[in-house]
């Protein structure tokens, strides 16, 4: 609690030993607060935090043997990269030989041998993050916490470093919690993803489970690039209807939202029976594929099409969802289909 404001509400989850868990959600959803609670930087107003079934709720951050890496690398500006790394072992019980051996091992692991004599101001953003990572893992922590460590880097460097971090985590086998608002990072890095909204846990599962079987409307719309299409309509007599669109469904009757991934919509003739009538709003060409952006009733829908597909802005088309790939969400935002997962 921050005053009367609850930052995290009733969060209950278990992180497996050696797992890389990603906390995913929009800004202000409670990801960093959750990380700070695990680290011991914040104290929960209720509940417990357990490490290997040991209650650490009242134990200080220093005694939890947790290491953190932040968005800004937080290196001492007056110390070289080597001295920054050494600073993490200053209060440990290791002798000089053991400290040097551990530092050498981490330096080789991260490939930063040529950076050790440089000051942080002489390093690039990616190099500073590598040094900050070395500074964290040289302590051999029980838990490794990363708070959006890649968000300040350029796109190409983010792609490179995220694979390096995953490779490093698997080699070390250290239980790791990674915070991000970038769903591509979450999908490519996490053993499991915990999606958060307004301080609550919306869903936790593997990337495939989160993507193919979202449990809530928020998760459905948040995961995926391009995002899932959400079409408002109503179910009656075993059919979902929205305008001219009509498809069969096993979901119960009522006002609902149909969720369809962009790759699961087919472009048809504008007068095709039961098709959703749309107008072309824009085309995005991505090389191996293109994204057709269509408009219907003020809503934007996205469809993945071959790179050879052409359409003019304002042109009328029809769209048909692949029935077997559709999900239905009720007025409360919860999935109401009887499918446990969409076929891959």
- In Å, how far are 224, 227, 273, 330 from 218, measured between CA atoms? 12, 11, 31, 12
Instruction: Locate the domains of the chain by residue range.
Output: 20-216, 226-329
Largest CA distance in the chain: 79
Residues with Cβ within 8 Å of 170's Cβ and at least 6 positions away in sequence, in order, are: 20
| DSSP string computed for 56-80 | -TTS-TGGGTEEEE-SS----TTS-
CATH class of 226-329: mainly beta
Q: Is the pTM of this model over 0.85?
A: yes
Of 87, 74, 93, the closest CA to residue 152 belongs to 74
Distance between CA atoms of 325 and 260, rounded to whole angstroms? 7
Of 182, 167, 147, the closest CA to residue 67 belongs to 147
106, two tokens: 């981490």
Helix axes 125-137, 155-172, angle to 10 degrees: 20
pLDDT digits 0-9 by tens, 287-324 = 999 999 999 988 999 999 999 999 999 999 999 999 99
Predicted local distance difference test score (pLDDT) of residue 339: 43
Contact 44, 206 (CB under 8 A): no
Predicted local distance difference test score (pLDDT) of residue 3: 53
Residues in the chain predicted with pLDDT less than 50, given as ranges, are 1, 339-344
Distance between CA atoms of 314 and 3, rounded to whole angstroms? 52
Angle, alpha carbons 134-138-139 (nearest 5°): 135
Distance between CA atoms of 287 and 22, rounded to whole angstroms? 30
Q: Which CATH number fits domain 20-216: 3.30.420.40, 1.10.3720.10, 3.40.50.300, 3.60.10.10?
A: 3.40.50.300
Site of tokens 């009509």: 246
β-bridge partners, 178: 22, 146
How many Cβ atoms are within 10 Å of 74's Cβ, its own excluded? 14
Q: Sign (positive/negative) of CA torsion 50, 53, 58, 64?
A: negative
């Amino acid at each position: 609690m921050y005053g009367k404001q609850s930052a995290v509400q009733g969060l209950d989850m278990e992180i497996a030993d050696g797992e890389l868990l990603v906390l995913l959600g929009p800004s202000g959803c409670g990801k960093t607060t959750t990380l700070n609670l695990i680290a011991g930087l914040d104290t929960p107003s209720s509940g417990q935090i357990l490490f290997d079934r040991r209650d650490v709720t009242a134990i200080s951050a220093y005694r939890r043997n947790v290491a953190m890496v932040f968005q800004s690398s937080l290196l001492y500006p007056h110390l070289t990269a080597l001295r920054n790394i050494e600073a993490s072992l200053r209060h440990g019980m290791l002798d000089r030989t053991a400290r040097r051996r551990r530092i050498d091992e981490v330096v080789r692991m991260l490939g930063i041998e040529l950076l050790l004599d440089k000051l942080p101001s002489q390093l690039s953003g990616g190099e500073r993050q590598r040094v900050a990572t070395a500074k964290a893992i040289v302590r051999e922590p029980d838990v490794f916490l990363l708070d959006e460590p890649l968000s300040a880097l350029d796109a190409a460097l983010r792609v490179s470093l995220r694979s390096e971090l995953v490779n490093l985590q698997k080699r070390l086998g250290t239980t790791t919690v990674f915070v991000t608002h970038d769903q591509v990072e979450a999908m490519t890095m996490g053993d499991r993803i915990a999606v958060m909204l307004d301080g609550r846990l919306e869903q936790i599962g593997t990337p495939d489970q989160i993507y193919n079987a979202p449990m809530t409307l928020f998760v459905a719309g948040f995961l995926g690039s391009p995002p899932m299409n959400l079409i408002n309509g109503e179910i009656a007599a075993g059919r979902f209807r929205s305008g001219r669109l009509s498809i069969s469904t096993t979901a119960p009757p009522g006002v609902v939202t149909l969720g369809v991934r962009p790759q699961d919509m087919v472009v048809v003739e504008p007068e095709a029976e039961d098709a959703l009538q749309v107008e072309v709003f824009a085309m995005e060409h991505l090389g191996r594929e293109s994204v057709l952006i269509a408009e219907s009733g003020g809503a934007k829908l996205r469809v993945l099409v071959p790179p050879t597909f052409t359409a003019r802005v304002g042109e009328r088309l029809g769209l048909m969802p692949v029935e077997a790939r559709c999900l239905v969400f009720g007025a409360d935002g919860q999935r109401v289909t009887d499918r446990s997962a969409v076929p891959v």
